[in-house]
Amino acid sequence: MTTNTQYGFYFDSSKCTGCKTCHVACKDRMVGLERPGEDVAANGVSDMKGVIWRRVYEYTGGFWSQNADGSFEQDVFACYSSIGCNHCANPVCVKACPTGAMHKRRQDGLVLVAEELCIGCESCARACPYDAPQLDKGRKVMTKCDGCQDRLQTNEAGELIRKPICVESCPLRALDFDTMENLERRYGKGDAHIAPLPSQSITAPSLIIKANPKSRGGGQVVNGAEV
Amino acid sequence: MERRSFLKMSAALGCAASVTGCDSSSSDTNVTPPEPPLAAEQQSWSSCLVNCGSNCPIKVFSRDGVITRIETDHETTDEYGVNHQIRACARGRSLRQRTYSPDRIKAPMKRVGKRGEGKFVPISWDEAASLVASELKRIAASYGNKSILKHYGTGAYYGFSSSACFDRILNLNGGFLKIYGNYSWAQQNEAAAATGFSSTSGSSLTALKDSDLFLGIGYNPSEMRQSGSGEGYDFLMAISGNPSLEVIMVDPRYTDSMAGKEDQWLPIRPGTDAAFAEAIAYQMISSGWVEANSRAFLDKYCVGYDQASLERLIEEFRASGDAKKLALIPYIDPTENYRDYILGEGKFVAEGGKTPAWAAAICGIAEDKIKQVADKVMAARAPYIVTGAGVNRHANGEQAMRACYMLSFLTGKVGKPGVSNGALPSQGSLSRAGMSGLANPVKETISFFTWAEAIVRGEEMTARKDGLRGTPDLDTPLGTNIKAVFAINSNALINQHSDCNGTAAILEDESKCEFIVVCDCWMTPSARYADLLLPDTSWLESNDLVNDSYASGIMGYLVAMKAAIKPLWDCKSMYDMCGLIADKMGVGAAYSEGKDEAGWLSELYGKTRSNAANASAIPPLPATYEEAQKIGVFRAFDATPKLALDSYINGGKALSTPSGKVEIYSLLMAQKGKDWVFNPDIKGDDISAIPKYQRTWEGYEDDETSAEYPLQLIGFHTKGRTHSSYHNVPWLREATEDAVWMNPVDANSRGLANGDKALVWSSRGTIEVPVRVTPRIAPGVAALGQGAWYKPDVSRTGPSGHAVDVGGCINSLTRYQPSPFAKGNPQHTNRVQISKA
């Protein structure tokens, strides 16, 4: 599969504080799109509980011991990974989809759902190692990060000046979005994807990571209730 | 749930196995989700006005009078230190759900059940305004204006339609009882003032470019100040901009201000910061380093380091002929000096020195690590030491803060580039003119924290026993109990005050406090205790003029807010509702001064525009408020580092302490320590002239409570709320789980696993919350995000003998015990037990 342009994300784990602004900014946009015209004054804005299009995983590890005088020794670390959809070059969700609803758009490499074809079987969700496909249980269709395709704007020089809402929301400027070519020019190829992220060899994600300097193996994702 | 097991290495195999099916790559562009009809949307500027320290701009999109989505400041090219964007955090981004929350108070309501039951009926605005007017008149006539309290409340930092509108009607009624201090900084404000500065007068974070060592004690800007132009962002930019800076963080939690940004985390037991600081001081003094390097600084700029310093002070005061100074001489005891105390010499010989070995066993930081930190502090060319407010919210937070402040002065480098004084960093601000509350004839003020006690025994409260201020002498009592409470944008009526169950019992007795007014947008736990509920408009329904608030980072800004939608339901702005009340009181003209909302905004904007402090705003403030509302955001960044105590050390301007110098030996503390009355049954209820580590009630060393309650419990500022604001937003509850943090050691020994429901109890109450098992908290310590909403389930009694608070409010566990000097809140001093629910 080849595309002319491949959009992707950049994430700097050394800056991320796990504040969830990207998660909530995305949710405000997506709930508005998924539930347009709901009577918010009468019923409030839909929770869409459990449907989280951009998730922030907290990966934590380290051990403690105590000295004879009760003082501590430890080697604790923690770091965050903010993940929406990586619009992978080898999207296993697309391969897993029995109807062709999940597809990769040729002109920009975004992985999108053709909702009229989706039967809500969740094969894509089971295949994706990043939890990107999120089932809208109300409408029984799969939904996911669409790269904020409606927001993207370029200037006359061809530079992307409006980016996905998660990128523009980030208080620490830990996220970026652009063509992979531009991202590589800006950040290089980045660091290897280590825990908790799966190996890049599975899906060839369009995601450049700057690793957290304290990150290492042996930890675990401790915030299951938040992702 | 199965997807939550992804992002673990084990998940990779499973998905590789499921890579089957055909390649359904598509060039079909006609399959996009529904496009939002952007053209029909309108945009206006609002601002998030909670008490996190920042008032981030909010860009509100609406269509046909309904809010459709929220964005934030994206108006500049976002160059840090030049024009960076003031990006709202997760809370601001959730405002659509918060604004339309089903628990909005939609109409004025009068209580019909027992107080606290939460039973109300809607009434007209006319009836509500008449009720306030008649009750104000009755209560002032029966008990005096001192019996009417305006409570602490920080839920909405408006500039114009603020709670000052209530001040106006209360003052037009003859005045009211005011409070001093606040739930955030009570002890540190007194500790810093006693030492010679303000608790927020530290060097700005831009000064870190010149520093080589950063020592943060309980300093956590990444969680406290989340704004995208806030202190957390400044902190990140400052430390990442200076790669040679070594960052050491001391905290019971491995906070998000660390998470890879630190060189070293030193976990410490809550309430033992003073012991840690004293051991560093011991190393600095006992090694001869202070004598060789900073003795001259201490002699010149400080008083109380050693006996000779205090003897000189007595001589100087005697020679001054100044009556105030002469009166303080009896409070100066040269044997009570800092050096002797730290080294265990002179009158302190029996106590022994405050050695690293002594401190390690108390604070949990190993002896060798304390020595290493001391070595680094001594070796640093420009040490930047800062103590966060978590240290101050303890049983004797005043002494803990002062003990930590001492370290900067012992280095002898305060006033030099890159060095600070231990206080929180100075920040930038633009200035907005605000509504006047008018003059208050009542002179007495009580500590914010003692209000519920003053409902019970205000009559007898005095300066000597209770920190009452504004009385002619130490023993003249307030003379009345509090009979009316106005809680305006305040959840401190129950939720944010210590000891929810105890406070509830006071409030439920309708014979004590006779009239409680709550003005808010949402049905908070405090609102349930109202006799009268007044529904405020939310920010997104308001026209107002606000600035950046009080701890918003170095970028200063103004936001000219314009209502995105009309007031929802029967809500009214505070200005309008107080206008109705003023009319019923017969003081409408004095209240409004002949102006309507537009008139006030125009006047306040005019004053703001002509304020020289705002001359640097970009873009410049236009002629009219209406034009300003179209632009929305005005900003200014002052990149010049501000140095702590610069005007004193480098400018020769005397400090406001009695000696005019940095007081290691505080004359005010010496005086109050002698003159005030303390309770010998309350461990650590003491004020000493020099800072001293205190063994307090329910502290780490309190063996009276440690068997029954083996864990120390601290609160922290969760990223999913600001205090209790935003608790009722489901999106945020999902994004940031409320769970009690426990070290694996403590969780395992109780059979608790991640996500298990647990009961947490103290002698004051029981809560039920999930457990987060994490190595990010020290053993023996539990931590819980403060601000969850108190929700006692009366059908269940917890181990403490109280109804189980299934809302998980930490203040169901905290103790009401005012601190010795500030009479402030000790909400991080708690001992608890935890078991599986």
Handedness of CA B123, B571, B434, B448 (dihedral sign): positive
Residue A2 in any domain: the answer is no
Average pLDDT over residues B727-747: 98
Arithmetic mean of pLDDT, B266-288: 98
State whether A107 and B27 contact (CB < 8 Å).
yes
Domain that holds residue B744: 711-836
B16 contacts on A by Cβ (under 8 Å): 92, 202
Query: For B365, which residue in chain A has the nearest alpha carbon?
Result: A71
Residue B189's pLDDT band, with cuts at 50, 70 and 90, is very high
Whether B176 and B230 map to the same domain: the answer is no
User: Which chain A residue's Cα is nearest to B264?
Assistant: A75
Per-residue pLDDT at B12: 33
Q: What is the mean pLDDT of chain A?
A: 96
CATH of the domain at B719: 2.40.40.20
Answer for the pair B442, B177: CB distance below 8 angstroms, yes or no: yes
CA dist A117 and B31 (Å) reads 9
| pLDDT for B638 beyond 70 | yes
**pLDDT tens by residue, A13-72:** 999 999 999 999 999 999 999 999 899 999 999 999 999 999 999 999 999 999 999 999
Q: Is residue B16 part of a domain?
A: no
Judging contacts by C-beta atoms under 8 Å, the chain B residues touching residue A18 are: 256, 259, 719
Are B560 and B621 in the same domain? yes
State the pLDDT at residue B616: 96
- pLDDT, residue B34, reads 52
Residues B717, B604 share a domain:
no
B116/B206 same-domain check: no
Residue B214 sits in the same domain as residue B345? yes
Judge: A127–B18 Cβ closer than 8 Å, yes or no. Answer: yes
B175 and B193 in a common domain: no
Closest residue to B364, CB basis, from A14, A43, A72: A72
In a domain, A45, yes or no: no
CB B333 within 8 A of CB B665: no
Domain of residue A98: give its range: 7-35+52-216
Q: From the list B236, B364, B568, which residue is nearest A70 (CB)?
A: B364
pLDDT of residue B40: 80
Neighboring chain A residues of B567 at a CB cutoff of 8 Å: none
Residues 776-815 of B with CB under 8 A from A: 776, 778-779
For residue B729, give the DSSP letter.
Answer: -
Q: Nearest 5°: phi and psi at A92?
A: -65, -25
Higher pLDDT, B41 or B254: B254
Per-residue pLDDT for B184 more than 90? yes
Whether B23 is in a domain gets the answer no
User: Per-residue pLDDT tens for B419-431?
Assistant: 999 999 999 999 9
Instruction: Kindly state whether residue B25 falls inside one of the protein's structural domains.
Output: no
Answer whether B68 sits within 8 Å of A100, measured CB to CB. Answer: no
Domain contains A163: yes
* d(CA A183, nearest CA chain B) in Å: 18
* B201-to-B420, B421, B426, B696 alpha-carbon distances in Å: 9, 8, 5, 28
- Same domain flag for B340 and B467: no
The pLDDT value recorded for residue A4 is 73
Q: Domain count of chain B?
A: 3
Is residue B261 in a domain? yes
The confidence band for B23, taking pLDDT boundaries of 50, 70 and 90, is very low
pLDDT of B414 reads: 98
In this structure, the answer to whether residues B364 and B449 fall within a common structural domain is: no
Residue B35's pLDDT is what? 53
Structural domain contains residue B805: yes
Say yes or no: B474 and B588 in one domain.
yes
Residue B680 lies inside a defined structural domain of this protein: no
Q: How many CA atoms lie within 13 A of B688 on its CB side?
A: 21
Q: Is the pLDDT of residue B20 over 90?
A: no
pLDDT class of B594 with cuts at 50, 70, 90: very high
In a domain? residue B89: no
Per-residue pLDDT reduced to its tens digit, B197-229: 999 999 999 999 999 999 999 999 999 999 999
CATH number of the CATH domain containing A140: 3.30.70.20
Chain B residues within 8 A of A78 when measuring between CB atoms: 254, 258-260, 776
Q: Does B78 touch chain A (CB under 8 A)?
A: yes
Q: Which 8-state DSSP code applies to residue A223? A: -
In a domain, B317, yes or no: yes
pLDDT digits (tens, 9 = 90+) for B536-593: 999 999 999 999 999 999 999 999 999 999 999 999 999 999 999 999 999 999 999 9
Domain end marker among B608, B637, B666 = B637
| In contact, B731 and B97? CB cutoff 8 Å | yes
- Chain A CB within 8 Å of residue B226 CB: yes
B233: domain CATH number is 3.40.228.10
Residues B293 and B324 in one domain: yes
Summarize pLDDT for B665-723 with one digit per residue, the tens.
999 999 999 999 999 999 999 999 999 999 999 999 999 999 999 999 999 999 999 99
Looking at the structure, tell me whether residues B667 and B722 fall in a common domain.
no
Residues of B in contact with A159 (CB under 8 A): none
Q: Is A112 part of any domain?
A: yes
Please state, as a whole number, how many other Cβ atoms lie within 10 Å of the Cβ of residue B623: 10
B251: Cβ–Cβ under 8 A, 6 or more apart, which residues? B216, B217, B218, B219, B220, B258, B265, B266, B267, B268, B390
C-alpha span between B522 and B792 (Å, rounded):
18
**pLDDT tens-digit series, residues B740-783:** 999 999 999 999 999 999 999 999 999 999 999 999 999 999 99
Tell me the average pLDDT of chain B. 95
Residue numbers in B near A173 (CB within 8 A) = 78, 228
Please, which residues 97-136 of chain A have a Cβ atom closer than 8 Å to chain B? 97-98, 100, 102-107, 112-117, 123, 125-131
For B86-139, write each residue's pLDDT tens digit: 999 999 999 999 999 999 999 999 999 999 999 999 999 999 999 999 999 999
Using one digit for the tens of pLDDT, what is the confidence trace for B794-818?
A: 999 999 999 999 999 999 999 999 9
Nearest residue of B to residue A21 by CA position? B90
User: Cβ–Cβ of B719/A127 closer than 8 Å?
Assistant: no
Structure token pair of residue A111: 């992985």
Report d(CA B621, CA B433) in Å as an integer. Answer: 14
Count up the domains in chain A and report the number. Answer: 1
pLDDT above 80: residue B16: no
Q: Summarize pLDDT for A103-160 with one digit per residue, the tens.
A: 999 999 999 999 999 999 999 999 999 999 999 999 999 999 999 999 999 999 999 9
